Structure 1
Amino acid sequence: MNPNELIIRFETVDRQTEGPVTRLVGFVRARNLLPLMDAATLEANPRTAKVGQITSDIRESIETTPDLFPFKTKGILVASANCKELERRRYHMTFENPAIEGILDGGHNTLAIGLHILSVAGVEPREIKRLKTWPEFKEAWDANQDKVKALKAAAASGEGGPLDFLVPVEVLIPSDPDDDLRFEAFTSSLFEICAARNNNRQLADEAKANKKGLYDHLRVTVPEEIAKRVEWKSNDGGDVKIRDIVALSWIPLNLMDLPDGVSKPRVVDMYSQKGKCSAAFDALMEHPEVSKQTGDGTFELHSQKIGKALAVAGIMPLLYDLIYREFPGAYNESGGRFGRLSSVKMANDMKTKPVTAFSKTPVQYSYPDGFIMPLVYGLSALMEANDDGIVNWKVEDPAKFVKDSLTNVVRRYRAIIEAFSGDPTKIGKNEGAYTIAKDAFETELLKLGAAV
C-alpha cells in the first residue's frame, strides 16, 4: 500500500448523496484512525494545526470523558476522489491530489488525537511537549513508528483500551466517479466546502487565497531564504506575514493598467491597511484576464504582464531590508540624529536584538516601519511600464542604486520627518511623504542619467 493509500473501518456509517458529492458519516474508533495519521496530510486544509488551548482541551476530553468525546467534537472531515467500499464497513481510499484531498477540516482534532496516541504508545512526555505544529508532530509520528505499530498490535489483540474511544468522521467522495462531469464537479466543490467549513473559525483571508493558489507565482519570485519564512498558511510557523509581501507587490503593480473592476489600493494602504492590499491582490489574481480557474478550484496565472510585475515585486522584500539597514546611517549623514528620535531604540539597549523584517539580518537600531515605507514606495521611481505594459527596472542594480543614493534621498525626505516631529505613524499615513520620497529618487535617477 503506497503512502497516500489507506483503509478506514467505521463502527457505524451512513451514506448521503446530493449532486456530485457523497458523504460517508459515522464513528471510527481511534485505533482505526492510525492509517489516516500515516497517510493524510493537512495540505488540503487552509490552516496548519498548532498546539494550544484547543488541542489541550481536546486531549483532556479524550482522557477524562472518552465516552462523551464523539458528542463533544465535530470530528474530522476527509476527502478522497478515489474511494472503494469493502466488506465490514471498511473503505479503501487514495489521496491522489494532496492539495484538495486528505483532511479538509478537523486538523486540531487530528493533531490532538495523534498526540494522545503517541502518549499512550510510550513516547516521553518531554518529547511530546516540544511538539508545537502539525509538521513537528508528523516528524515525531514517523520517528516513533515502532512504538505506534506495537500499540496498534496490542489494540488489535483486544488490549488497546486507550484507543477504543470513538471519533466522528466524515468522508467526501464522488457520487459517480465514472461520470466525468460529476467527477469534475466533485473536485471543484472541495475547495468551496473546505473554505466554508473553516469559515466557522474565521479563517484568515490570506489562508484562503493561498489555498486557491493566488500566491503561487509570488512564492517563486521571492528569494528562497525569505519564502521559507513566510506564513503561507495560518499557524504553519512562518515568522513573515504574507500580507507584508503582498503589500510590497503593489509597488510595481501600481504602474500597470489593471483589468476592469480591479481597484488599486492607496499608497498609504501599504503601511496602514495591508488587508486592503491583500483583498485587491486577490481580486486581481482571480480576474479571468489574469488567471484561469482549474478543475480543482485553484487559479493558475496566465497573464505575462502580471507575471513580470510579480518578478519585480519578488526582490522588494530584500530592498525593504536594505533600506531598513541603511536608513539610520543615511539619516545621520544627511545632518540628522537618528538616535534622538523618540521611537528609535539602540540594539545595545535591547534584550532581544533587532533584525530586519524579511531576511532577519541583525541591525543596530529598532524603529517603526512608518519611517521608511514611503522610501520603499519611492523605489517605484526606478521602475517603468513599457509600451506593452511590462514593468521593468530602469537601473541595472536597484540595490546598488539605493546604497549610492540613499543619503541624498534622505536629505530631502528628512523634512517630512521633522514636519511630523518624528511621529512614524503620521509619516506612514501621509500621502505627501510618499510623493516626496518618490520625487527624491527620481531626482537621483536624473543625476545618474546626466552623469552618464
Structure 2
Amino acid sequence: MNDTVTEPIIIKFDQPAEQTVDGITRISGFVKAKHFLPLIDNLDLEANPRSSKVGPVTDAIRYSIQNTPDDFPFKTKGVLLGSSEYERLDRGRVRVTFDNTELEGILDGGHNTLAIGLHVLELALGSDARLKKVKLWAQFRELWNESREQIRAFRAEAGTAEDADGGALDFLIPVELIVPEDAGDPLVVDDFRASLLDICAARNNNVQLRAEAKANQHGYFDDLKSLLPKAIADKVEWKTNDGGFIKAADVISLAWVPLALLDPMPVDEDGRKVDAPVPQNIYRNKGDCVARFERLMSSKEVTSANTGGFKKELKSTRVHSALKIAAQMPELYDRVYADFPKAYNALGGKYGRIVAVAKMNTSSKSKHARFTGAKVDYNSPEGFIIPLVYGLTGLLEHRADGTIDWQTDPFEFLAEHLQDVVKQFTILMAPFQYDPQKVGKGQESYALALSAFQNELLRSGKGAGVGA
C-alpha cells in the first residue's frame, strides 16, 4: 500500500466512550473481531514506526485468543488507530477514511493486528503449510491477500451478521480511535496531523522505538535511500522488522564521514548547533550517530515540510552533496574490508593469525562483505575497518559554496594507495595488542588513519589534503 486514501471503513464499538482534550478526540471501546477484519483488509502498517513479526509476543496473543477469549480484552492494550476524516453513525459505529496511510491508520498494536490476522487465517485455512512460513508482516499481508476468498467464506460461515452472537469471531478487541475534534476545521485537522507522529512514537516507547524508525517515519532517510545503489538500499532495514538484514544505523553512521565536514553545521529544530559525533562513535555508538542525524535533518535549514505537512523534504544543497558521498560509503567500506587483509599480508603480516581474526574465520563460516555481499578472503573485525573508512575523510574537500566532494576518485585511490595507508595505520595495532575493540574505540586510530590518507594524497599530487 502507499500514501493514498483508503476506502471508508465502518468500525462498530461496543460500549464506546469519548474524551476530548485540546482539539483531539479519543473514541475507545471494544470491537468484535468480525468488525475488526475490515481494518486488516484495508490497512498495512505504514503509520506504525515498526513492522510486526512473528515471535513470542504474537504467540502469546494467539494463545490468549484461542484459550481465554473472554479474558483477552483485559490482557492487551489493544490497537490504536488515527484518522483525520470520520463520521459518527448510530449504534456505536464510526465511519473512518484514512486520508494518508503513511501517517494515519494503525499507530500502535501491530503485533495484536498480526496475531489476530494469523488466528483468522488459521481458522479459515486450517493446517495450511503456508502459515508456518509467515514470519513478517509483509509475508502475512501476501498470504491474507491470496486467501481473501477463503476468509470471506469463513466469515459468512462463522456468522458475521450485525446482530449474530456466539461465533468464532465474536471475541473482543480493545480499540482506541483518535480523531480531530472538528474534522471540518482545516486548522484543527492540521494540528491533529502534526501531533500524530509524536503520539505514535510515545505509544511505542514500551518497545524501545529506535531513533532510526522515527527518522524514517519523518522521511529523513528518503534522499539517502534514493542515492544508494538499489541493491544495497533494498537490503537495509529502514523500518524495524521490515526484513532487511543491514541495519539502518550501520549506513547512517558511515554517512557522518562526509556530513562531519559541513561548515557551518546547521542548527536543529530547537536552535542548537548539531555537532558531528566523535569519529570513534561510528564504531562504538551508532545510536548517537542516528540521533545526531535526526537532529541534523530536522533543521529548518536542511528540510521543510511537504505539502502534506508530515514528511520532510530535503532543501539544503550542502547536505545533499554530503549525502551523495554518503551513498558511496557502504561500497567503500566493503572495498576496504576486502583489501585490508591483502595489504596487511603484503607488508609481511599474518592477518589470519591475529586471534580476533582467526575466531571469525573458522571453516564453517562464510566470508562475505557486509553491504554488497561480495566474497572476500577474510571476515574482519569492524574495529580494524571503521577507522580506515573514516580516514577517507582525508580525500574529501569542503568547497567554497559549502558543498562536499572528493578531491580524487576514492575507489581508484584505494586501489593504488591502500597498502601505503595500511603501512602507516598498522603501527598502532601492536600497542593496542591487536585487539579490534581497542583499535575501534581508540581516538588515536582515527587520527592516524586520517593522517595516512592525507599524506598519501599529498604524495600522489591529486589533491590538497585538506579533508578534515
- Where do residues 242-321 of structure 1 align in structure 2 (5 Å cutoff)? 242-257=248-263, 258-260=265-267, 261-293=273-305, 296-321=309-334
Q: Deviations over 1:198-243 (max 9, x none)?
A: 1122211221222122222222122211111111112222111111
- Match of 1:104, SS state, is strand
5+ residue gaps, structure 2: 268-272, 464-468
Give deviations 1:336-357, integer Å, cap 9, x for gaps: 1111111113887332313211
**Does the 8 Å CA contact 1:47/1:233 hold for their aligned counterparts?**
yes
Instruction: Tell me what 2:246 maps to.
Output: 240
Stretches of structure 1 that go unaligned for 5 or more consecutive residues are none
Task: Measure the CA separation in 2 of the matches of 1:71 and 1:134.
Answer: 25
Query: Is the Cα contact below 8 Å between 2:361 and 2:379 reproduced in 1?
Result: no
User: What's the counterpart of residue 432 of structure 2?
Assistant: 420
User: Within 2, Cα distance between the matches of 1:235 and 1:220?
Assistant: 20
CA deviations on 1:274-307 (whole Å, 9 max, x unpaired) are: 1221121111111222222456444322211011
For 1:213, the aligned partner's letter is G
Residue 346 of structure 1 contacts residue 365 of structure 1 at CA under 8 Å; is this kept in 2? no
Q: Following superposition of structure 1 onto structure 2, how do residues 321-332 of structure 1 map, counting pairs within 5 Å?
A: 321-332=334-345
- Give secondary structure in 2 for the equivalent of 1:343: helix
| RMSD after superposition | 2.0
**Residue 229 of structure 1 aligns to which amino acid in structure 2?**
K
Report matched runs for 1:29-44 at 5 Å. 29-44=32-47
Identify the residue that residue 225 of structure 2 maps to in structure 1: 219
Contact 1:5/1:39, CA 8 A, preserved across alignment = no
Deviation at 1:63, TM superposition (A): 0.6
Return the match for 2:133 from 130, 135, 148: 130
Does structure 2 retain, via aligned residues, the 8 Å contact 1:271–1:428? yes
Taking a change above 3 Å as real, the CA distance of residues 450 and 96 of structure 1, as seen in their structure-2 partners, is closer
1:140 to 139, 143, 152: 143
Which stretch has the larger CA shift, 85-94 or 217-226? Answer: 85-94
Q: Deviations over 1:382-422 (max 9, x none)?
A: 11011111101111x32122122111211222212233231
Mean CA deviation greater in 286-295 or 160-169: 286-295
1:12 to 10, 15, 27: 15
Q: Distance in 2 between matches of 1:95 and 1:293?
A: 20
CA positional deviation for 1:85? 2.5
The amino acid of 1:417's aligned partner reads M
Q: Assess if the C-alpha contact under 8 Å between 2:386 and 2:440 holds in 1.
A: yes
Q: How many Å apart are 1:61 and its aligned residue?
A: 0.5
CA distance in 1, matches of 2:378, 2:33: 52
Q: Decide whether the 8 Å contact of 2:6 with 2:99 is kept in 1.
A: no
Q: Could you say what secondary structure the match of 1:25 adopts? A: strand
Distance 1:270 1:334, change over 3 A: same
Identity of aligned residues (%): 45
Contact 1:189/1:296, CA 8 A, preserved across alignment = no
Structure 1's consecutive aligned runs of 4 or more residues displaced over 6 angstroms after TM superposition are none
